[in-house]
Structure formats: structure tokens, C-alpha cells
A and B are shown apart, each in its own frame.
Chain A
Amino acid sequence: MLDQLALLGTGLVNIFDPLNFSMILVGLTIGVLAGALPGITMLNAIVLVLPFTYLMGIVPSLLLMTSVYCGGVFGGSITGILFNIPGDPMNVPTTWEGYQLNKKGFVSKALGMAIMCSAIGGFLSALIMTVASPPFAKVALSFSSFEYFAVVFLGLASVVVIGTRSIGSALISLFIGLFLGTIGMDDIYGVPRFTFGSRIMETGINFTTVLIGLFAIGEVLDQLSRKNKEGVIDHFRPKTTLPRLSEIWALRNTMLRGLGIGTVIGAIPGTGATVSSFVSYGVEKQVSKHPEKFGTGVWEGLAASETSINASTGGAMIPLLTLGIPGSGATAVMMGAFLLHGIQPGPLLFNKSPEAVYTIFVGMLVCNLIMILAGLITAKFFSELMRVPENILSAFIISFCLLGAFALRNDMTDVWFMVIFGIVGYFMRRYDLPSPPMILGLILGPLAEKYFLTSMIGCGNDWTVFFCRPVSGSLMVISIGLLIMPFLRNLGKKGKKGSVTA
């Protein structure tokens, strides 16, 4: 314990080395900006900074990358709250509540709350990572495809809680998303599906194009085509207001749940921030006393999603540092940086380079604190855009979307998909078909299929196996509970109404 504290002290001293500290600042700025721009993901940004780490030692390199990582997962929330454009899929639940809060006139506070929840979630999960890495990693590693499927199934089950007006519409949207996720080359059997002979279709539909299209293009078309407005909205400049301590304290339980879900799911290789943010949002809605208000601008929804997103960063570092297993694309690139410097992450890392490890631990703690400042500055920059008249802003949003879709693979096919899904998104709004379940299905569908089929191959197609293992069984029961709860609640309401009228 004393050794650990001494190493943390050394790490703290190392952090304030000018190079190390400036790497945190640079990384956070790049990360938040990249996360906020649709089409440029946090992972893109980490890959882009990787070549620069050749010139540095391992500590500043990893501090740079972890800062990009922490900033990047938060950045997408800013544009989500301001313009209904989530920077990354993980920011979708934040967008549902944040944009509604913006519409209600709480944009400043929503931005501030998102920043604080992200910082608190990230800080506490980094703290958990510091003290509990080895035992945590062992538990996460004991998971097999059965448990992975159960985790993803839990994410998919949350669709009934994100379905706004009608469960039927939400389910249709979800299954369309799941179906879209099956288009392209099948991962397990290597068979092309629904490609109609097109080579381009073999790579499948990139969910980012669908995400940008449904949210950004759909929103622009919807706003500008309304008759009661002439293309110009109120010119205002929202100021980001950090929430008061009492407001944060009021959300303590929500944030604790988000922290727990984010850290645990983040530590499971292959899941990460996107799954954790959906699960956290879904769970929050289920435990809420007013679930019917979710989707209309609810602080708990925003806090749950934001806390879990950044909490997953600490969780994702656990298997990388303790076992040398990258659990996500971002940590895989970081592993590349370790290897570039001749260091093999894993159990021996704590013996061979303890100073480096503890500097990274402290770096993540400090990084999440400085993120409040970085978030405020970036939010201020993006808030300035709110003063631009809607007719100009909308045209530029579409230009950015076209560029963002093209940047994914430097391919016009993605631009086409984005535009088509934009138009589809507009009509989905008009006909009251919710788009979030479709996104959820498209993101989680391929994961669910992979884990389901792997499990089936391993156990001779016996699906009851998911219920026979303690972890997967518990998760499946929770998921089924989530699925049937709205129906039961509805029946309860009808019963009450019946007794009142009688």
C-alpha cells in the first residue's frame, strides 16, 4: 500500500513535468474537438497522434493518447446537445436528453452537467482503475461469448425503454437496425448477405453514416421544412454553466449507477463506451420514478449516459495494463504505442515499469479534472455557432456531414448512404418511427450475432446455456425483466384506471 502511494506520488511529480503536462493539454484539446466533429471519431484522433509518439518517451506518448481518449469520448456530447448531432455513437443517449433540454432552454446547464458528469465519471473510474486493476481484470477475463452476448442483449433490451410513444414502433425500428447490421460479408462464415452482387455492399453499412444521416440531415430537413418558421431561429449565445454542488448531489445515485455500469462494461473487452452508455441510460429509465419523461429532456438520462461513457475509459484501461489485452479500438492503438517503445503491457508491466504505469494512472486522474476546463472552452467555441442564423448553419451542417461521411473511408458510397438515411430519418420523424432503436440495432446487432453464433457453435446450438451460467443468466433475467416491465406497468395503469372508473 505504501509502495503504491509512493509510486502515485512519483507519478504526480512526473505529471507536472512541462512536456507531460503539455501532452495532456494538447491531447484533451484534440480529443474534445475530434469527438465533437461528426465523422471524425475519437479513434481517428488517437490514430492520427500515434506517429507523433515516435519522437517521445513512453510516458508523454501514453499521456497524449489517454488525454485524446478521455477528451474524445466526451466531445461528441457537445454537438449532440447543441445541434442534435452526436459526434460518436456512444453520445446518442446524451443527445436524446441533451438536445431536448436545449429545446427547453436549458442548453447552458445541460452542457455544464455533461462536462461535470463526464469528469466525475472519468475521475472515479480512473481511481478505481488505480486501486483495483488486477482483481477487476481477472473477473472481466473470465467472461466468454455467453456473457458477452448477455451484456449486448441487455443493451438491446433497453430499446423498450427508449421507445418513446409506442413499443411497436420502437421494436420495428430496432429490428430494421438489426437487419441493416446483417448486410455485407458475414464475419463467421464468410458469406456475403444481401449485397446483390455489389462489392461495395460487402463491407456493410457503416453505422456512422446512418447516425449522421438520421440525426443531422433528418433534423435539418425537419427544421427547415416547417411552415411556421422562415429559416431563422433566435440568435443567442448559450453560456456553459457548471451545475451547483447541490444539483450534482441530487444526481448522486444516477452517477453512481453510471459509474458502476461504465467501469464494468468498459473493462469487458469488446464492449466499451457505446454499450455502456445505452445500458446505463436504459437502466436509469427503468429505475426512474418518472420513466415516461425520458426522451423529453431529463437530467438523470443525461447524467447516466455521460457518467458511464467516461467511466468506461478507466475500465477499458484495466485489461490493457494488467493483462495486455486491448478491449477496444482505442486501447488497441495505445497498445501499439507501448509496443513501439519496446514495452509489453501485461502483469510484468507493474514490475518492470511501475513508474510509467502509475504516471499513466495519475495522468488519467488529472486529465479528467482538466477536462472540465477543456470542455468549457470547447463548448464555448461551439456555442458561438448557435448565434449563426439557422439558414446558414444548416447548410454548413450538411457540408460537414458530407465531409464526415466521406472521411470515414474516402468513399462516396458512405456519402450516398448518409444522404439516403438522412431522407429516411426525416420521414421516420414525420411518421413517428423512432430512430434511436435503429441506431442501437445497427451498432449492437453485429456484436450480438457474433457472440450468439460463437456461443451456439461452442455448445451445440443449446440456447438454454445463456441461462445456466451465473453471470449470463443473471444478465438475461434482467434483460427479460426490462423487456416485460413496460407491459406490466401498462397493465397496472389500466387496472388502476379501471378501478377508478368503476
Chain B
Amino acid sequence: MAHNNAEAIQKRTAPSIKSLSGPILIFLLAVFFYVLSGRLDENPIEGQLGAFFWPKAILILLMLSCAFKVLESFKGIGKGVADTGLEEQAPEVNTGKLILMIVVLLAAVVCMETIGFSLCNFIFLLVFMRIAGLKKKTHLLLISLLGTVLLLYLFVKVVYLPLPKGQWFFSDFTIFLYRVLHII
């Protein structure tokens, strides 16, 4: 019990480099943007605050907040607004899966304009569901296919959303698909 308390106190009083790196990084970014604001703020109208007054004020407050956060980490001030005392145990993360999901997500956005929404969404659903743990191939194929058709009906036919059709022959493919599905 005493050992746990000692650990808890140590946890409160000795902030890790990891916990300080965030505020310090944000502080440096704020300084960068503050300097940039100073350079961009040319010829403000006399007697008026100008377009860069507000962002500069915000950036100063952001820097002060970062300093406050660092202080908070050391002293424990400001903590406990809704604090129960100790930090919650962060859940373990499957880093490989996380990276894979982020890569697939970014790839979907990159490809959407090139291959068109319909094909891109079909592939995205297929791959993402597989990464998320769905294993049956028939389920994967059927859900991705039917899901994409449903979304196309809802957003192109009903809401008239001009979704990306893709470039080169992908554009022809999308139009062909729309015709087959009686969307256009």
C-alpha cells in the first residue's frame, strides 16, 4: 500500500520527458507562427489593431498555456478539476495495426480523385474491414460491394452529390457503373 502511494507521488511530481515534449513542441510552433505574423503584418491601418492582432494575441496566450502546462506537470497546480488523482492506465496499442489503418486511410484519399469514389470505396471497405478483423472472404466482398452500391444510390442518386469519378479510363468505368445501376 505504502509502496503504491510512493509510486503515485513519484508519478505526480516527476513528469516524463514524453509528457513535456508536447507542450514544448507546441510552444516552439507558436513562436514560429508569432514571428511569421510579425513579418506578414504589414502596414496596419493607423489607430486600428490590424488583421494580425488577434492571431498574435492567441499565440502569446498559447505560449503562456504551454508554460503553464509545464509548470503544472512539475507542481501539480491546476490538476484535479475533474481529476481522481492518478492518471488512468493507457490501453495497450497494436502499433502495426494502427499504422496500417492510417496508411489505408491516407491511400484512400490519395486514390479517390484518380480512380473515382466507387472503386476507391469498394477497395477501402474491403481492406479496412480485413485489417479490423473481418476474415470471411465472402462477407468482405459482399459487404464492400453492397455497401458501395448503397452509398452511391444514397449520395449520387438521392442527394445529387458529384462524387469524384476518377481520371482516364476510371472515369469511363464510373459512368458505366452509374448507367448499369441506373443512377444516371
Q: Is the interface of B mostly helix, strand, loop or mixed?
A: helix
Are B54 and A172 closer than 8 Å at their CB atoms? no
Interface size, chain A (Cβ < 8 Å): 79
Known: A164-B82, A395-B124, A490-B80. A182 touches B69 (CB 8 A): no
Query: Please, which residues of chain A bring their CB within 8 A of the CB of B52?
Result: 191, 193
Known: A165-B79, A176-B62, A453-B49. A182 touches B54 (CB 8 A): yes
Query: Please, which residues of chain B bring their CB within 8 A of the CB of A163?
Result: 81-82
Are B49 and A419 closer than 8 Å at their CB atoms? no
Distance of A216 from chain B, by nearest CB (Å) = 12
Distance of B7 from chain A, by nearest CB (Å) = 19
Are B91 and A168 closer than 8 Å at their CB atoms? no
**A453–B113 CA distance with the chains assembled, in angstroms:** 40
Are B125 and A172 closer than 8 Å at their CB atoms? no
Q: Within the complex, which residue of B80, B91, B143, B159 is in contact with A407, where a contact is CB–CB below 8 Å?
A: B159
Known: A168-B23, A179-B55, A186-B51. A407 touches B132 (CB 8 A): no
Q: Is B176 an interface residue (CB 8 A)?
A: no
Are B65 and A175 closer than 8 Å at their CB atoms? yes
Q: Mark A425-463, 1 if CB is under 8 A from B, else 0.
A: 010001111000000000001000100110011001100
Are B133 and A189 closer than 8 Å at their CB atoms? no
Number of CB contacts from chain A to chain B under 8 A: 209
Q: Is B50 an interface residue (CB 8 A)?
A: yes
Known: A167-B78, A293-B82, A460-B47. A179 touches B124 (CB 8 A): no
Are A172 and B80 closer than 8 Å at their CB atoms? no
**A486–B147 CA distance with the chains assembled, in angstroms:** 48
Are A406 and B161 closer than 8 Å at their CB atoms? yes
- In the complex, the chain B residue whose C-beta lies closest to that of A220 is B101
Query: Please, which residues of chain B bring their CB within 8 A of the CB of A456?
Result: 48-49
Query: Please, which residues of chain A bring their CB within 8 A of the CB of B81?
Result: 160-161, 163-167, 291-292, 486, 489-490
Q: Which of B52, B65, B90 has the most CB of A within 10 A?
A: B65
Q: Which of B22, B45, B162 has the most CB of A within 10 A?
A: B22
9 closest residue pairs by CB, A with B:
A231-B133, A168-B69, A391-B132, A175-B62, A225-B98, A167-B78, A171-B65, A191-B51, A189-B51
Interface residues of chain B, those whose CB is within 8 Å of chain A, are 19, 22-23, 26, 30, 33, 36-37, 40, 45, 47-55, 58-59, 61-62, 65-66, 68-73, 77-84, 87, 90-95, 97-98, 101-102, 105-106, 108-109, 112-113, 121, 124-125, 128-129, 131-134, 143, 147, 151, 155, 159, 161-164
